[in-house]
Structure formats: structure tokens, C-alpha cells
Amino acid sequence: MTNQSNPLAFDRYAFGADFVWGTATAAYQIEGAVDRDGRTPCVWDTFGRQKGKIKTGETADVACEFYDRYESDLLIHKELGFNAFRFSIAWSRMLPDGVGPRHGGRINEAGLAFYDRLIDHCLRLDITPWITLYHWDLPHALELKGGWPNRKIVDWFADFADVCTKAFGHKVKHWIILNEPLAFSVLGYFTGQHAPGRRSFRNLLPVIHHTALAQAEGGRIVRQNVPDAQVGTTFSCSPIDPFTPSDQAAAIRVDALMNRLFIEPALGLGYPTRELPFLAGIAKKVAKPGDMERLAFDFDFVGLQHYFRAVVEQSYFMPYLWAKDVSPLRRNVQTITEMGWEVYPESMYRIIRQFGQYEGVKKIYITESGAAFYDRVEQGIVNDQARVEYHQNYLQQVLRAKQEGLPVEGYFAWTFLDNFEWAEGYRPRFGLVYVDFRTQQRIIKKSGRWFQQLLTKETFVGKH
Ligand code: GAL
């Protein structure tokens, strides 16, 4: 069915019958109900209440009311034709004390029951649930005990993974350990733009190391409790280009930080200390004997979360990295999203190739990709043509990688519903479904209808 005369045209059959088509979401961004049925605050609740932390001054107290609306929302998801739904479990809804029973904490039965209902509803609709264990919502109770800089977090997280997999492992067979370790460690504890908003270099190495340990430890717990599970974890990733030929070394350093920092220890390759010498401080000052071996875990798949490429240049003002981003604006790039990110479809192909080159990477899923554009409702319709083109063009590059034999086996659009976009508030809309946050009305956007065509119609040809 591929239209040969049009290189942009494709249909779903080109991706193969087993290709996974999903959307990705995160508990904190959609659930709301932050103080209901025994849930306790997470770091984003407390961070968001501090003045100036969320650009729009908004909170996620209500968000998309997914906690109450999951049944009707998933009917829409079904209507769009997706066969997989990625969501995360709010740690403090399951374990209100942060710690689990092994450390004297309670399991919140009402929280457990919510996820149980959600999973059952997915299964009833023939939608495969993919669970992310950690999508950034650390219980505030654990932040009070030191958060990610405290080594005990590795045990606390293991407890949480243990409780979740024992509760749902008989029904859920796709597990993701962490969502983008780089983002929550660096933005949360070094630059302070994300919760818990701490800013210190002293914390950075311990946070990185504990996160990498938790990543592997979580993998081992899932494997042990759900032996027939597919276990993976996700990475934010971007091909890094030098601005001028003399910025090559800078690009190599940024690549080590942005793309290699968390996957290489998992693959048994250690931290990229040659390119980033400051990371040697982990082995010298932070790690305990035996840690370096514990960093490795044989994941069944890696999840790539890819949105944009980065172009960088040498900079003497940025300690440790000696490099900085050259913004799309400075490069005169016209195609940027509302987040200021460059739309550059070929970067999807390049990043799949880059990760596919690791011997230990067996399978790749694109666990997030998507774009925020300014959406308008006109006569009940959201005509988000730019988002249609984004997904179409990025998918085309996924297909190109697949046709070259790279093991890419699924695509999760970020995201199902417009939602709470962290420190940006509700303004950037990434959804395939528009949410009116005053009335909670849902409107399927043109991009949602485009996916529906692709996934459910026999006559689909990608180009519009
Ligand atoms: C990812 C994150 C998502 C979402 C998305 C768009 O980094 O995992 O939660 O916010 O970016 O910015």
C-alpha cells in the first residue's frame, strides 16, 4: 500500500504486524486527585506551591481528572486505535509513607485499587498496559529524608518496585523502570528547574549514581517478581551536532552527558568518564565496593524519548561540560515548537541508529515523541496540522530505521491528553486530544483523527 511516488506516504502495515502503537502519559501530569483516597504529597506538589516555580502559577491538583475519568478517556484511546497505553504509578498513592512495608510503611489499598481498575479497564478494551514505575513524582516524605542524594533511595525504590510488581505483575507484562533519569537528576538537583528544585553540584554525583543503581536494581526486582515480563527503561536522547567543525569535541562531551550517562552503566560499560572526567568522582567518592557491577542489568528493551536534535558549541563559561547549546533561534531555524524545540525529523533516525549500535541493546521502543503547538478550538474543531506533520515525519524516520534492520518495535506518541507540562504549567499542549481545563471537555484533534485513520482504516495513506 505504500505510495511509491510519494516518499512520505506509508501505512501501518509497513511497520509490521507486531509493531506497538501507543500513547504515553505520566501520573502527575493527568491524574489530579492529589489529596484523595490516601495519596500523600509528592515533590511536585510541594515544589509547585512555591512562588515562581511553575511559570503559569498553576498546579496539578486537578489536571485532567484522569483519576475519575479514566474509563471514558480510555474509550477515546480505543477509538483512536492505539493498542498500548503507557502510564505511571504515583509512588505516594501506593505508598503514602514513601517507604514500603519492609521499612515500616503502609500500602494504600485505595491507591492500589485505582491502578488495578485502570489495568483491568485497559485489558477489557484490549489495550496493553505499559507501566512506568518512576515518572518523577518522588513522595515528599522521602525528600524530607534526603531524596535522591540519600543512598537509601535505592532500597526505598526497590520496595516500591516490589510492591507494584507483586500487585500487578500477574496482569501487566511490560514494565519501564525510570522515565528519563537525566532529566529528573539534573533538572531536579543541579539546575533546580524541576522538583524538588535543589541546586548544588555537591548533590549531582550522588544523585546520578543512586539513580543508575536504582535503574538496575528496579530491573532485577521486576525480573524476579514477573519472570515473563519485558523489562525496559527510558532515556531522553538527541543527536548532538557541532555548530562549527571546531566544536566537535564539545559535541562529544554533550553527547556523553545527554545520551550515554545512564545507558552505558546499565550495559556494563561504566560511566563515560573519558569524555566527562568529573564523573570519575563517582568511583572515588560516592560508590561503595561492588557498586560498579551492580549498575549493570540486562534490559529486554530500551525506550527512547526523542523530540529534537541539539547543536552545541565550545564554551568556557560552562564548567565541567565546557559546551553550550546554540538555540534554534540563533541558527535561524523556522520550524520550532512552542517549547522552542527544533523540528528535525531526521534526528529520529539518527538517534535510533546511535542506540542500535550498542551490542547490549536488543529492542528499541520510541516511548515518547511529540510536539507542543498553539492549538485553537474553532467551531468545535482543533485543526493541528503542524502536529500531524510532526508525527508523520518522525514516524517516517522510524520506518527508515526499521527498514534498515534496526530493532525498533513501537511508537508511543507523547501524549494522549493535553496535560500539566511540569514547570511550564498547562500552556504547552502536546495532546492528540484537546482538554478544556475549565470544563474538562475532550475534543479529538486532527492529529488524533490522523492516528485513527492510520491505525484503523484500510485505505490509509500517510500524506495529507
Ligand atoms: C518528557 C517527559 C514527559 C513530557 C515530555 C514533553 O521529557 O517525560 O513527561 O513532559 O517530555 O515535555
The answer, yes or no, to whether residue 3 has pLDDT greater than 70, is no
Spatial distance between the Cα atoms of 238 and 339, rounded to a whole number of angstroms: 15
464 pLDDT band (50/70/90 cuts)?
very low
The pTM score is: 0.97
The answer, yes or no, to whether residue 6 has pLDDT greater than 60, is no
**Opening angle at CA 216, ends 214 and 217, nearest 5:** 60
The string of pLDDT tens digits covering residues 440-461 is: 999 999 999 999 999 998 766 5
* Residue 150 in marked binding region: no
* Residue 421 in marked binding region: yes
β-bridge partners, 377: 382
Spatial neighbors of 14 by CB under 8 A, at least 6 apart, are 1, 2, 399
Extract the C-alpha cell encoding 101.
Answer: 512495608
Residue among 421, 427, 429 whose CB has most ligand 1 atoms within 8 A, to mutate: 421
Write down the pLDDT at residue 457. Answer: 87
Cα of 163 to ligand 1 centre, how many Å? 25
Spatial neighbors of 287 by CB under 8 A, at least 6 apart, are 209
The answer, yes or no, to whether residue 7 has pLDDT greater than 60, is no
Write down the pLDDT at residue 148. Answer: 98
Q: Mean pLDDT over all residues of the chain?
A: 96
Cα of 422 to ligand 1 centre, how many Å? 8
8 A C-beta contact, residue 39 and residue 93: yes
Cα of 319 to ligand 1 centre, how many Å? 26
Mean local confidence (pLDDT), 240-265: 98
Is 368 annotated as catalytic?
yes
Measured from CB, residues less than 6 Å from any atom of ligand 1 are 26, 29, 179-180, 183, 236, 305, 368, 414, 421-422, 430
Cα of 135 to ligand 1 centre, how many Å? 9
Write down the pLDDT at residue 459. Answer: 64
- Which residue ranges form the domains of the chain, and what is each CATH number? 12-368+389-416 (3.20.20.80)
The string of pLDDT tens digits covering residues 375-427 is: 999 999 999 999 999 999 999 999 999 999 999 999 999 999 999 999 999 99
Percent of the chain with pLDDT over 70: 97
Spatial distance between the Cα atoms of 347 and 349, rounded to a whole number of angstroms: 5
* Residue 414 in marked binding region: yes
Which one is catalytic: 143, 217, 342, 368?
368
Indicate which atom in ligand 1 lies nearest the CA of residue 234: 8
Mean local confidence (pLDDT), 3-9: 45
The string of pLDDT tens digits covering residues 117-157 is: 999 999 999 999 999 999 999 999 999 999 999 999 999 99
Which one is catalytic: 180, 217, 264, 342?
180
The string of pLDDT tens digits covering residues 389-400 is: 999 999 999 999
* Residue 383 in marked binding region: no
- Backbone angles phi and psi of 413, in degrees to 5: -70, 135
Residue among 29, 368, 417 whose CB has most ligand 1 atoms within 8 A, to mutate: 368
Q: Give 287's Cβ-side CA count (13 Å radius).
A: 20
- Backbone angles phi and psi of 46, in degrees to 5: -75, -40
Percent of the chain with pLDDT over 90: 96
**Opening angle at CA 148, ends 142 and 150, nearest 5:** 80
Contacts 24+ apart (CB under 8 A), 285-294: 285/205, 286/205, 286/206, 286/209, 287/209, 288/151, 291/209, 291/213, 294/213, 294/216, 294/217
Mean local confidence (pLDDT), 28-52: 98
Residue among 87, 422, 424, 429 whose CB has most ligand 1 atoms within 8 A, to mutate: 422
β-bridge partners, 414: 24
Asked whether the CA dihedral 283, 289, 290, 294 is positive or negative, the reply is negative
User: In which element (H, E) is residue 349 found?
Assistant: helix 346-356
8 pLDDT band (50/70/90 cuts)?
very low
250 pLDDT band (50/70/90 cuts)?
very high
* Residue 135 in marked binding region: yes
Q: 133's torsion region: left (phi>0), alpha (psi -120 to 50) or beta?
A: alpha
Cα of 300 to ligand 1 centre, how many Å? 23
